[in-house]
């Protein structure tokens, strides 16, 4: 029976341990999904090894186990997010930014679930080209943007969409100066929607011609793909733009909420039993589902191996000449050899080398690895 993991909190790992076999009996999993479930179960357990923190002054002892570092693990993203924000801090231009969201229509979600790499790639390509083209045609300039893929709603339903944090203007190389966008809006969302729709359909058509959707049941009819494309071409696609941000730090802090977020955090779990999982959705609203349904929703958000969910375009690409002219000095990345405890101290001020009981120095003694609990 799943039980509170620590200090009364529930843990998704407990749900996986109790119900993974049942999930796999009713729903076949891709290798990447199996790997994520295995890593979540083993994260911060004796399976991955670790060390024993011991204070020689007062005798305090506490085992610390290694993290799995899987990007889908709800326990492994906080430090990665802080490190990413720090690395981006000196690359973020001190200008107004807009938040634009590009959403895939519901009619294309089954295709995205079948061929996520191809469909997510088309979604990214269309959003990127739409923003860059509008920058050139409307501002006569190159804008900068960071795009992040999300595939979930607050209830863990499948809902692929891209969040884009976009500069409120762009750099005109011909005039060597900044061309600002209107203060209250970036571009007309209706026009963005039309162009985004056309570019996505073009990218999907190319993927189809390359065989990316071979084996998709809905396309057994040779005319089915064309019929689907014609149907979604008549829809009004959802592109949403929020009001502009303040400059600098406010933009980066906001963006940090999106970059390393997973479908659901352990903190949103309110109740776990052998028969039901209750989690917080939005505000005071909650959702209760069977554990296998919960896991089924969770694994559908596992990304294809090596697929980049964060992308930078225009002025925010590393090789941008305009960015080099406008941006501050190059960011000071943490040296590769930096220990994670030192990085945590530098980023958050939390010193895990000190005893929480007496303030003395903690010493780390290696702990052996235990046998794997779940096969990959």
Per-residue pLDDT tens digits for 197-206? 999 999 999 9
Whether residue 228 lies inside any domain: the answer is yes
Residue 330 has pLDDT above 50, yes or no: no
Structure confidence by residue, pLDDT tens digits, 173-196: 999 999 999 888 899 999 999 999
Per-residue pLDDT at 72? 93
pLDDT tier for residue 338 given thresholds of 50, 70 and 90? low
pLDDT tier for residue 3 given thresholds of 50, 70 and 90? very low
Whether residue 320 lies inside any domain: the answer is yes
Whether residue 362 lies inside any domain: the answer is no
Whether residue 195 lies inside any domain: the answer is yes
Mean per-residue pLDDT for 66-89?
80
Whether residue 217 lies inside any domain: the answer is yes
Q: What is the pTM of this model?
A: 0.85
Rounded-to-integer distance, Cα 89 and Cα 262, Å: 22
122 torsion bin: left (phi>0), alpha (psi -120 to 50), beta (else): alpha
Which domain covers residue 215, as residue numbers? 91-263+308-326
Whether residue 346 lies inside any domain: the answer is no
Rounded-to-integer distance, Cα 24 and Cα 11, Å: 20
Whether residue 21 lies inside any domain: the answer is no
Residue 45 has pLDDT above 50, yes or no: yes
Per-residue pLDDT at 370? 65
| Overall domain count for the chain | 1
Residue 303 has pLDDT above 80, yes or no: yes
Rounded-to-integer distance, Cα 54 and Cα 147, Å: 43
Whether residue 334 lies inside any domain: the answer is no
Burial 206-234 (b: 16+ CB within 10 A, else e): ebbeeebbeebeebeeeeebeebbeebee
Structure confidence by residue, pLDDT tens digits, 126-179: 999 999 999 999 999 999 999 999 999 999 999 999 999 999 999 999 999 999
């Amino acid at each position: 029976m799943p039980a509170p993991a620590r200090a009364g909190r529930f843990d998704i790992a407990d749900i996986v341990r109790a119900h993974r076999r049942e999930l796999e009996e009713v729903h076949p999993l891709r290798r990447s999904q199996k790997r994520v479930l295995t890593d979540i179960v083993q994260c911060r357990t004796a399976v991955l090894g670790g060390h024993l923190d011991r204070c020689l002054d007062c005798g305090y002892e506490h085992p610390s186990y290694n993290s799995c570092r899987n990007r889908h693990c709800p326990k492994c993203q906080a430090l990665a997010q802080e490190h990413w924000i720090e690395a981006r801090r000196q690359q973020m231009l001190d200008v107004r930014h807009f938040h634009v969201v590009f959403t895939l229509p519901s009619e294309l979600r089954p295709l995205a679930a079948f061929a996520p790499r191809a469909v997510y790639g088309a979604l990214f390509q269309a959003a990127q080209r739409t923003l860059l083209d509008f920058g050139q045609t409307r501002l006569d300039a190159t804008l900068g943007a960071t795009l992040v893929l999300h595939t979930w709603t607050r209830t863990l339903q499948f809902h692929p969409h891209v969040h884009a944090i976009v500069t409120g203007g762009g750099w005109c190389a011909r005039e060597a100066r900044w061309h600002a966008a209107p203060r209250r809006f970036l571009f007309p969302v209706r026009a963005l929607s039309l162009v985004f729709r056309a570019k996505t359909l073009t990218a999907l058509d190319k993927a189809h011609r390359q065989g990316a959707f071979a084996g998709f049941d809905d396309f057994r009819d040779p005319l089915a793909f064309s019929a689907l494309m014609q149907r979604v071409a008549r829809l009004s696609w959802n592109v949403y733009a929020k009001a502009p941000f303040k400059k600098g730090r406010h933009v980066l802090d906001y963006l940090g909420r999106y970059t390393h977020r997973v479908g659901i955090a352990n903190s949103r779990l309110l109740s776990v039993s052998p028969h039901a999982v209750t989690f917080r959705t939005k505000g005071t609203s909650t959702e209760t589902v069977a554990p296998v349904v919960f896991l089924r929703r969770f694994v559908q958000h596992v990304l294809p191996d090596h697929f980049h969910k964060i992308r930078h375009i225009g002025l925010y690409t590393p090789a941008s000449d305009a960015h080099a002219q406008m941006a501050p000095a190059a960011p000071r990345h943490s040296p590769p050899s930096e220990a994670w405890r030192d990085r945590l101290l530098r980023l958050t001020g939390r010193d895990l080398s000190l005893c929480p009981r007496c303030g003395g120095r903690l010493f780390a003694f290696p702990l052996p690895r235990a046998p794997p609990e779940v096969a990959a």
